[in-house]
Structure 1
């Protein structure tokens, strides 16, 4: 067989990002604190960048995040940067991504899905996305998603990626392997009984000694219902809101919070030197650094413009929230905002990542305004709050002698045109603090 070398012309479309676009995308994903750190790093490496710090009295109020990971925030307090030096620590996302990086047996696509799951963990470490929606998003089967969720749940700390308290505790029991024999069934069926101290009732049900139930309960109490507590620092954290919404004359006004960001200007000495310097090498160096400085300034300007535009579109969709709070949130997806502002969905995702907004109702992550809805048989989409009210109403009307199981509640909802899975009913019921049917029967 003869071989030969020859040239072939080939025409193809290829997306190539310029340095300006790359830096703009990088800056876009930074929170205020991360951007402040990035600006100072750039200034240290570039003599043409001159920074002017804001006076301390111009620092805006901060909102403290409780260590419990609760969704609500306490009232604003003035943040003293001298008394609250941030601790250098590994973020939860980084910690899990390091574990993902060593998984050699999965494909690139599967890795992307696991990364998506990691980014949809809530502050407690629970998975906060619907498996059907994830499967549809990545064009894979629900079974494949379940498989990848199991992979995530194999990471440290034990219990990460659980979808409920019961699953979180069960994952830890399986990982440990030395739990008392009744532990698993008590977690799945009798957490409420254990919390109420009904040890004898459970013991009679399984024909075991009360001491066995108490032993299993003691073991369960040692488990961690909040997996991220093992990763997160015990110190108080503070949030610098990236945006502020205030009401003026009945209208809500959005402001970009740049009070903690240093003001950037070009050093006058080096700017003059650039005009007068005769040395070609020095002039080339100064031109490069001037270009970098201007690129940084434009990137920050674009970040603010995009952040404002995206936030404005979000609040236009969630206008009722500003008057009524969380209960008025409506279903909203990234694609809806992307279509409105004319950006790619991934750009919107970067924009809201790690960003917080201070509103008259408190401080919230921008991500909190995106809630999944349930598609009705009519084609309309209703919010989880609407479904919860339906579940609450069904439970209130049930026969006190025969409380409805989660599956029967799901069947009632389906009859009303609301297709919803049993496990979703169970999740919403627990969030409403409604006991399971066996427990309701005992109380009634």
Structure 2
């Protein structure tokens, strides 16, 4: 067999991720804080980049020569001029007219949308307060100062103690037990030791302990792991006889003897799997991490406001947009003095990198506002009427509407927030799963959660609604949902079980 050489022509397709494309994808998924750190790092490494310290209201200069292009120069083409967004030139998507090639303006106006009902304030505790324009009004200064004063676990427990116990003697016993908590939230003193220390009967200490075991977060003041888990299950209304028997054999779970344990309990595989999942969802260390640092206020990436005549306006928050300049004057001066080829190559490479960064920032801003605009259009009912009108929505719905890939929409909505008349929400909040409704219709899972919360808030202290009763009410309204799903939704909203609510309301009545 002879060996010979020959030429062949083959055609194939492959996806090549250029460094510039990788950079653009990376910028999309960064939060505004991560983006600021990234840009600062690029400025340190690239001598042709510098931060624009003139402020968002400046009209001088360009991201190359001027900071704000004329109206006629704003284009929706992501491959257009390499301009980074500023407050005077925030990228926006098209208006809701079906025209996908509308020019970019500083704001996006929606004439088809009306103002939200109850737009005077945020929607309960579903939305977090935030400062929409840092440093502009300062109306949340006191709120932010209070955030800086972290409340310790002991402070929270003492506050609950003052509301739950009225006798000075009981409060003294309670303070002793609170001060004996371990870092994990377990009781670090025996009842006999506490009784001897305070010169009271052990039964008195046990009575106060039962009250303290009803405090939030549930599971504190347990003396054993079994008791800790039992407290949490009881609060969820899940501590039935079968679950109690399971807790009596926790050591078998630790030893991996699950098959033997299921046979001992005499339950089928589905029930056993559900019980094991519930056990894994519990917190064996309820006190850990509760004395962490203060919470940070969320700074929105997109600002939404109502305009006269029932329209909406969307714009990027200028406080979250990095202001970067390509120093062309420095480039011209240095390039004229370069003699060696490697110096010229290095300078050209840095200029290209700087231009790509500015272009990527512009494209990121354009994509964020475009996705946010489509979310507002899709969730029109939410902004008009509230959570009960939040409709089911998935990534593909938005991606197809604005002709982007689902992965791009996913990256854009990660760690991005929008300030609306109803409060501040993460963009991902508007993507909700569907729950079966009447006549084959679908309703948003978030609207079902809202309905469950509303029913519980309106319940009578003398007639506390169980999860089964809530299921019956929802089915009467055309929403087919299982009891376990109701319990899961209730727990996600941190609403106590019917047993716990009955105890709390009885205590308040007393």
User: TM-score per shorter chain, which class?
Assistant: 0.5 to 0.7
**1:366 equivalent in alignment to 2:421:** no
Residue of structure 2 in register with 1:337 after alignment: 398
Q: Which has the larger radius of gyration?
A: 2
Are 1:373 and 1:384, in contact at CA under 8 Å, matched by a contact in 2? yes
Residue of structure 1 in register with 2:314 after alignment: 254
Distance 1:375 1:18, change over 3 A: farther
Residue of structure 1 in register with 2:265 after alignment: none
Where do residues 63-142 of structure 1 align in structure 2 (5 Å cutoff)? 71-74=126-129, 76=131, 79=134
**1:179 equivalent in alignment to 2:229:** no
Where do residues 19-30 of structure 1 align in structure 2 (5 Å cutoff)? 19-30=19-30
Aligned with residue 241 of structure 1, among 289, 294, 300: 300
Residue of structure 1 in register with 2:488 after alignment: 427
Tell me the SS of whatever aligns to 1:357.
Answer: strand
* Larger RCO, structures 1/2 (Cα 8 Å, 6+ apart): 2
Distance 1:315 1:300, change over 3 A: same
The alpha carbon displacement at 1:306 in A equals 0.6
Residue of structure 2 in register with 1:14 after alignment: 14
Aligned with residue 332 of structure 2, among 271, 279, 285: 271
Structure 1 gap segments, 5+ residues each: 61-69, 85-156, 159-164, 195-205, 207-221
The alpha carbon displacement at 1:289 in A equals 0.6
Distance 1:308 1:275, change over 3 A: farther
Residue of structure 1 in register with 2:156 after alignment: none
Where do residues 14-413 of structure 1 align in structure 2 (5 Å cutoff)? 14-55=14-55, 71-74=126-129, 76=131, 79=134, 179=224, 182-189=227-234, 229=289, 233-249=292-308, 250-260=310-320, 261-274=322-335, 277-376=338-437, 378-384=439-445, 386-387=447-448, 406=467, 410=471
Tell me the SS of whatever aligns to 2:297.
Answer: strand
Distance 1:188 1:301, change over 3 A: same
Q: Distance in 2 between matches of 1:185 and 1:371?
A: 32
Q: TM-score, normalised by structure 1?
A: 0.57
Are 1:49 and 1:265, in contact at CA under 8 Å, matched by a contact in 2? yes
Q: Distance in 1 between matches of 2:317 and 2:457?
A: 46
Cα deviations across residues 88-135 of structure 1 (Å, max 9, x unaligned)?
xxxxxxxxxxxxxxxxxxxxxxxxxxxxxxxxxxxxxxxxxxxxxxxx
Where do residues 429-444 of structure 1 align in structure 2 (5 Å cutoff)? 429=490, 431=493, 433=495, 435-436=497-498
Are 1:356 and 1:364, in contact at CA under 8 Å, matched by a contact in 2? yes
Structure 2 gap segments, 5+ residues each: 59-85, 88-124, 136-140, 145-183, 186-213, 240-244, 246-282
The alpha carbon displacement at 1:322 in A equals 2.9
The alpha carbon displacement at 1:330 in A equals 2.1
Q: Distance in 1 between matches of 2:132 and 2:475?
A: 47
Q: Distance in 2 between matches of 1:286 and 1:262?
A: 22
Q: TM-score, normalised by structure 2?
A: 0.50
Q: Distance in 1 between matches of 2:425 and 2:455?
A: 32
The alpha carbon displacement at 1:405 in A equals 6.0
The alpha carbon displacement at 1:244 in A equals 0.9
Tell me the SS of whatever aligns to 2:312.
Answer: strand
The alpha carbon displacement at 1:308 in A equals 1.0
Tell me the SS of whatever aligns to 1:305.
Answer: helix
Q: Distance in 1 between matches of 2:20 and 2:332?
A: 22
Distance 1:349 1:391, change over 3 A: closer
Range that drifts further, 244-253 or 325-334: 325-334
Q: Distance in 1 between matches of 2:300 and 2:456?
A: 40
Q: Distance in 1 between matches of 2:336 and 2:445?
A: 63
Q: Distance in 2 between matches of 1:349 and 1:38?
A: 20
Distance 1:408 1:12, change over 3 A: farther
Q: How many residues align?
A: 319
Q: Distance in 2 between matches of 1:396 and 1:269?
A: 64
Are 1:28 and 1:303, in contact at CA under 8 Å, matched by a contact in 2? yes
The alpha carbon displacement at 1:425 in A equals 1.7
Cα deviations across residues 222-279 of structure 1 (Å, max 9, x unaligned)?
976697x46x951341333211112222311111123452232234122343356443
Residue of structure 1 in register with 2:191 after alignment: none
The alpha carbon displacement at 1:412 in A equals 7.3
Cα deviations across residues 42-74 of structure 1 (Å, max 9, x unaligned)?
1111111132124399999xxxxxxxxx65333
CA RMSD of aligned residues (A): 5.0
Q: Distance in 2 between matches of 1:240 and 1:395?
A: 32
Tell me the SS of whatever aligns to 2:392.
Answer: coil
Q: Distance in 1 between matches of 2:47 and 2:381?
A: 48
Tell me the SS of whatever aligns to 1:50.
Answer: strand
The alpha carbon displacement at 1:37 in A equals 1.7
Distance 1:395 1:300, change over 3 A: closer
The alpha carbon displacement at 1:294 in A equals 0.7
Tell me the SS of whatever aligns to 1:239.
Answer: coil
